[in-house]
């Protein structure tokens, strides 16, 4: 076992990188990798990229809120990220009377900056390899339990070992956030140590039409003209250390910030992203990909489509509701369209067939040696059988989760209250009250009732096997003659769970736990979740164990090819160059300009996603770009593409040139390569970024925020 572990680690971490594909750990850039990057145009050394004992480029990049990335661009803690990354914070700060989500916001002084409650950023301090500790501890457990299958021991023990190691790091690094995560399918383990700042304030956001230009119509598409950026500032205490919000806090002074470049780019120019990609599955088996397409994505597409139809009617009818649901809509529609694009690209590019060919190569590789066959010879049969056995359940669970956990919002209230003690002085009561206050700020009961009725009916139509129906359907059929709308109307009219008063009502009358319909159903829904999970637990363990074996086999079989770990929201670097592409006979150039924005805005009467305020149209029509114009074309470049390897979580990632200067912010991928989380296609996959010159132009000319332009150094 130990020999195998050592072999795998050597294979994984001593390989050089390709120019385009790959999400690489900054602390593992070897000499060969550094040489490739240098030949492409990087002028920084590996130590200038990552130096835990000094100052390096990684110190300018932040984990933005644990869901996006961002970059510090001034000595006073100014942070650039995407508009859609700041969207939730902007929405929370908006109201019908002060609708900054629609109209934008500009702070011309520190005093005007608005605290973004609940938002935080993390700075990576260092990353350390814990693989030997975790795998050695697991090996000891295997030796102590020789009669128990390893797959039955692995997951629970891995979790407990990782938790123990993580706690040790937290004790040794007081005040820091320590996160231990698995890499390479669980064949390696690293701990990342962060400093977290929680006083974050909104500085600048453009209008909603600017930040979301193109909306759902253009989402995941190229060409784009979206000015997808927002600006925040980090605040710290008098010692420049993390602190909760206080009027006494001062702008944070970073160890390193990124210089903003107006020099632009040309095809073939080096381009590098540094950020926090969330999740990829590039080592996933062909059976896993098939399940993703046909058993998981279908529920995301189908249920969210139904939900968004209902939401849109209410949002279009009432601006207050539109503000409440703006961030929820953005999140829901983003992954709805992502799933549509992924399924299409996987089919169009033949991804499953490609993976099957690779698996055949693995079989031929291990069949030639008895020692390899002993280790890997059973994994494909085990995967095929386990995926087949859980298929029906996974399909039902996808629809269940999208309906009852992500669709029927009032169930969230019922779940929180059902777990709440009756002790009025309990700390949990205070925490529940705070949580519910946040929830109800962005909640509309009438919308939720209509959504509940539609999704309950949809669930029974899509999941026809009644063993997957929660018990509420017995009541719908017996008491409401199968009418889901009547059922929804009745339970919403009788429940206390529609506003913040529910908490005090329950504290005053504990019998409501048994009589309130939402509280009753919340308990049953939770039990049903456990039922669904329990039905597939055994197959989940088999799949997890054998998918890890497959990753290990791929690493050992192809030792001459560079291998990177799947994304897991840890800091990664991708590098490549500015590049256009051709798809289905159509050629796409590497940038968009102001005229392309005006061309789309001219269609706003036909396509509402192309709406643009008249003052912005007039500004763009003037064509006076000044120092923000591209030196070669004379145009204002809006967005551009590179062959960098990104995924969700990379949103807001800085796009650097070879000198480590900021030239853009990554915000999207392209439709033709939506299978990228599963399989990277170097000829098609592109990273879409907003040009930093477009960002500065709007800050300067639309926002008239000369204070920010001066702070950035321009």
Which residues belong to the active site?
84, 228, 651
CB 204, CB 106: distance < 8 Å: yes
CB within 8 Å of 449: residues ≥ 6 apart: 488, 489, 492
**Is residue 442 exposed (0-12), middle (13-18) or buried (19+ Cβ within 10 Å)?**
middle
Cα Rg for the chain, rounded, in angstroms? Answer: 26
Let me know: does 667 contact 84? Beta carbons within 8 Å: yes
Query: H or E element: which one contains 163?
Result: helix 150-172
Q: Which helix (H) or strand (E) holds 178?
A: strand 177-183
* Rounded Cα distance, 478 and 476, in Å: 6
Q: How many CA atoms lie within 13 A of 628 on its CB side?
A: 22
Residue located via tokens 């990229």: 49
Cis previous bond, 527, omega within 30: no
If residue 622 lies in a helix (H) or strand (E), which one and from where to where? helix 614-622
Burial class (CB in 10 A: 0-12, 13-18, 19+), 708: buried
Q: Which residue has the tokens 């453009």?
A: 206
7 contacts: CB under 8 Å, gap ≥ 6:
556
Q: How far apart are CA 689 and CA 669, in angstroms?
A: 9
What's the CA gap between 397 and 391, in Å, rounded? 10
Structure tokens at 481: 């003659």
Enumerate residues 6+ apart whose C-beta is below 8 A from 164: none
Residue 576, both tokens: 């490549």
Nearest to 204 by CA among 357, 73, 390: 73
DSSP state of 68: E
Give the integer Cα–Cα distance in Å for 700 and 705: 5
Q: Kindly report the backbone phi and psi dihedral angles of residue 68, in degrees, each rounded to the nearest multiple of 5, phi listed first.
A: -145, -175
Separation between Cα atoms, residue 490 and residue 472, nearest integer Å: 13
Structure tokens at 208: 């909603």
Whether 521 and 472 have beta carbons less than 8 Å apart is answered as: yes
Q: H or E segment at 388?
A: helix 379-400
Give CA–CA dist 101/183, Å, rounded.
38
Distance from C-alpha of 616 to C-alpha of 609, rounded to nearest angstrom: 15
In Å, how far are 136, 139, 444, 631, 670 from 144, measured between CA atoms?
A: 12, 9, 56, 68, 50
């Amino acid at each position: 076992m130990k020999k195998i572990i050592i072999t795998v680690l050597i294979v994984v971490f001593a390989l050089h990188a390709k120019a385009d594909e790959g999400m690489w750990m900054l602390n593992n850039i070897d000499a060969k990798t550094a040489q490739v990057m240098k030949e492409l145009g990087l002028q920084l050394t590996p130590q200038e990229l990552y130096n835990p004992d000094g100052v390096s480029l990684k110190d300018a990049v932040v984990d933005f809120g644990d869901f996006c990335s961002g970059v510090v661009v001034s000595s006073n803690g100014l942070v650039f990220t995407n508009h859609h990354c700041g969207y939730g914070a902007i929405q929370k700060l908006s109201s019908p009377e002060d609708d900054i989500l629609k109209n934008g916001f500009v702070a011309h002084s520190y005093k005007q900056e608005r605290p973004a409650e609940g938002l935080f950023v993390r700075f990576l301090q260092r990353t350390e390899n814990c693989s030997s500790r975790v795998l050695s501890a697991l090996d000891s457990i295997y030796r102590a339990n020789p009669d128990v299958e390893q797959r039955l021991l692995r997951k629970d023990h891995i979790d407990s070992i990782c938790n123990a190691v993580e706690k040790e790091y937290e004790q040794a690094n007081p005040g820091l956030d320590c996160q231990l995560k698995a890499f390479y399918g669980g064949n390696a383990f690293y701990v990342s140590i962060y400093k977290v700042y929680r006083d974050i304030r909104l500085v600048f956001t453009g209008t909603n039409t600017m930040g979301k230009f193109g909306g759902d119509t253009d989402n995941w598409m190229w060409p784009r003209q979206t000015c997808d950026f927002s600006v925040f500032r980090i605040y710290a205490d008098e010692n420049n250390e993390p602190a909760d919000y206080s009027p006494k806090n001062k702008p944070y002074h970073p160890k390193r910030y990124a210089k903003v470049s107006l020099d632009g780019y040309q095809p073939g120019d080096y381009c590098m992203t540094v950020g926090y990609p969330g999740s990829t599955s590039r080592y996933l088996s062909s059976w896993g990909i098939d399940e993703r397409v046909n058993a998981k994505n279908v529920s995301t597409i189908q249920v969210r489509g139904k939900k968004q139809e209902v939401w849109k009617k209410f949002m279009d009818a009432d601006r207050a509701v539109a503000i409440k649901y703006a961030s929820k809509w953005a999140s829901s529609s983003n992954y709805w369209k992502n799933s549509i694009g992924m399924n299409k690209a996987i089919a169009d590019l033949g991804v499953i067939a490609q993976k099957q060919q690779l698996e055949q190569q693995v079989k031929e590789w291990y069949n030639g040696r008895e020692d390899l066959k002993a280790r890997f010879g059973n994994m494909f049969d085990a995967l095929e059988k386990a995926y087949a056995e859980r298929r029906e359940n996974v399909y039902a669970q996808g629809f269940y989760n999208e309906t009852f956990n992500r669709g029927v919002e009032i169930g969230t209230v019922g779940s929180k209250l059902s777990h709440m003690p009756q002790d009025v002085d309990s700390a949990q009561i205070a925490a529940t009250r705070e949580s519910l206050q946040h929830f109800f700020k962005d909640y509309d009961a009438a919308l939720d009732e209509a959504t509940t009725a539609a999704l309950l009916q949809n669930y029974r139509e899509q999941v026809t096997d009644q063993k997957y129906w929660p018990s509420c359907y017995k009541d719908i059929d017996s008491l409401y003659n199968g009418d889901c709308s009547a059922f929804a109307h009745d339970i919403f009219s009788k429940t206390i769970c529609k506003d913040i008063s529910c908490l005090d009502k329950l504290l005053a009358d504990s019998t409501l736990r048994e009589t309130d319909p939402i509280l009753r159903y919340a308990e049953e829904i939770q039990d049903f979740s456990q039922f669904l999970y329990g039905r597939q637990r055994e197959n989940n363990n088999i799949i997890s164990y054998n998918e890890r074996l497959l990753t290990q086999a791929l690493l050992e079989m192809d030792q001459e090819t560079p291998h990177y770990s799947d994304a897991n929201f840890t800091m990664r670097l991708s590098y490549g160059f500015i590049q256009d592409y051709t798809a289905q006979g159509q050629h796409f150039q590497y940038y968009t300009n102001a005229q392309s924005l005006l061309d789309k805005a001219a269609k706003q009467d036909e396509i509402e996603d192309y709406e643009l305020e008249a003052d912005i149209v007039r500004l763009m029509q003037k064509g006076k770009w000044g120092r923000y114009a591209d030196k070669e074309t004379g145009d204002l470049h809006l967005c551009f593409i590179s062959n960098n390897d990104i995924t969700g979580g990379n949103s807001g990632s800085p796009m650097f040139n070879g000198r480590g200067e900021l030239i853009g912010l990554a915000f999207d991928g392209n439709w033709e390569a939506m299978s990228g989380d599963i399989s990277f296609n170097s000829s098609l996959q592109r990273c879409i970024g907003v040009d930093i010159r477009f960002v500065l132009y709007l800050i300067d000319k639309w926002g008239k925020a000369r204070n920010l332009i001066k702070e950035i150094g321009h």
